[in-house]
Amino acid sequence: MGQAAKRHAVYEDLFDLPENRVGEILNGILETHPRPAPRHARASSSLGTKITAPYDHGQGGPGGWWILDEPELHLDVDIMVPDLAGWRRERMPELPETAWFECVPDWVCEVLSPSTGKIDRAVKMPLYAHYGVQYIWLVDPDLRTLEAYQLLSESSGNKWVLLKTLQDDQSVSLPPFTEISFDLSVLWA
């Protein structure tokens, strides 16, 4: 006798998770991981602070974006929770009334950890490309690196192109946020 076919996860499966777990549905499979560790949370919060003021609030920068921590994305059958995401307001003039977003972000950032790094790279990056996210940043607090990618659309499909890898205390001024510059070390402090 063969194994029974696995049931595709549904949104309601996320309701029963313990409070200390984050759940996502990726390619029909429920994936869970622990809430971020302090170093992970610090990197995400610090990056959000550097980008939110100039791009979301227009303080010292061009404005015109919504920048949010851990938004819940409902993209077709996939439910993803990036560490940070941004939408150009010209594409999404107002925030939705729902607790989730159905509009594909223009930019996402994933802060890698031992429990999420493999899924962020091997599962979520291809899904973000499939849905047309234009930019993704991967931040690794352990390696003290930031990798910036841009989506390239080809006849054979979408693929990520590495724009730059920064490390330690290098200056950050990367697409889509090139109008500002900040020291990468603020993410590790």
Tens of pLDDT, residue by residue over 147-171, are 999 999 888 788 999 999 999 999 9
CB half-sphere exposure, 49, CA atoms < 13 A: 11
Strand segments, DSSP code E, in 61-120 are 65-69, 73-75, 78-80, 84-88, 107-111
- Percent above pLDDT 70 for the chain: 96
With b for 16 or more beta-carbon neighbours within 10 A and e for fewer, the 57-73 pattern comes to eeeebeeebbbbbebbb
| Runs of H (alpha helix) within 82-165 | 117-119, 125-131
Would you state the pLDDT for residue 20? 81
CA 44 – CA 40 distance, rounded (Å) = 6
Tens of pLDDT, residue by residue over 10-61, are 888 788 888 888 888 898 888 888 777 888 899 999 999 999 999 999 999 9
Q: With H, G, I as helix, E, B as strand and everything else as coil, classify residue 144.
A: coil
Whether the CB-CB separation of 140 and 166 falls below 8 Å is answered with no
Would you state the pLDDT for residue 6? 59
Nearest to 142 by CA among 82, 107, 187, 81: 187
Q: With H, G, I as helix, E, B as strand and everything else as coil, classify residue 145.
A: strand
CA 71 – CA 80 distance, rounded (Å) = 8
Chain centroid to Cα 102, Å, comes to 15
Q: Which domains does the chain have, with CATH numbers?
A: 38-187 (3.90.1570.10)
| Other CB atoms within 10 A of residue 107 CB | 25
Would you state the pLDDT for residue 13? 78
Q: How far apart are the first and last CA of the chain?
A: 56
